[in-house]
Amino acid sequence: MYINGYVIPVPEGSKDKYRAMSEIFWDHAKEKGALEQVEAWESDVPDGKVTDFRRAVDLKDGEKVVFSWLAWPDKATAKAFEAQDMELIMSDPRMKELGEDMPFDGRRMIFGGFEPIVDEGKAGGGYVDGFIVPVPNGKREAYRKMAASAAKVFLEFGATRDVEGWGVDVPEGKVTDFQRAVKAEDEETVVFSFLEWPDEETRNEGWKKVMADERMNALGKDAPFDGQRMFWGGFMPIVNERAAQARAPEHA
């Protein structure tokens, strides 16, 4: 699988328009082979000491953070969609009904392409935890092993899915981008990660159990990334689409 990951600043008053636009976008992406699209609205997003979701997109007063992903069967299919004339989507009559103004500032949106190195559980859920993590290139395997072990604990305590996406096509932006968001250093790669939960209550209770679990405490020692520059938050899906062919990954 291949994932396009996004973090987007959206005016609070444009929530409904943003949702409607995203649903139209999904119709076009699904026709071109997309497997799933999730648009998750800020719910529990803390301020960080070094980095956080708000600073990542230079959030303004009256705006909320959207954590979003679009999943594809492979990179080639994703790139074929990106290469198509976006005027085709913008010419959709439904888009015209929404108005000419986009319901977010595209200059401050950050995006990239990610290759899952961990994908455990079943897609779908009523709540999302999103993470952006800077990982040294030489510690990719150590990070993958740690994340795979942590995934088992999260799923045991109520999460439905855990995905860790390694950045493979993460462009520099003119205003914001993923590298700047985590203050990435030389020879570091950005990881786009998310947990799906059935609902917010299960998520809150699950995190209490996870944080008290000795297995997680052990994994936290000598972590293969700089936790001070990692940031995370909780989000409520407002668009949660799955194509008919999408299914959970199979594991031995």
Q: Average pLDDT across each block of 10 residues of the chain; the chain has 252 residues. List them in order.
A: 97 96 93 96 96 97 98 95 77 80 91 98 95 97 96 97 98 94 96 98 97 90 92 97 62 38
CATH number at residue 238: 3.30.70.100
72 part of a folded domain: yes
194 part of a folded domain: yes
Q: Which domain holds residue 71?
A: 2-242
Q: Total structural domains in the chain? A: 1
247 part of a folded domain: no
pLDDT attached to residue 71? 97
41 part of a folded domain: yes
User: pTM above the 0.85 mark?
Assistant: yes
Structure tokens at 9: 């600043």
Query: Helix (H, G, I), strand (E, B), or coil: what is residue 30?
Result: helix
Cα–Cα distance measured from residue 129 to residue 121, given in angstroms and rounded to the nearest whole number: 15
248 part of a folded domain: no
38 part of a folded domain: yes
pLDDT attached to residue 98? 79
Cα 55 → chain centroid: 16
Cα–Cα distance measured from residue 17 to residue 53, given in angstroms and rounded to the nearest whole number: 22
Question: Quick one: 84 exposed, middle or buried, by C-beta within 10 A (0-12, 13-18, 19+)?
Answer: exposed
251 part of a folded domain: no
69 part of a folded domain: yes
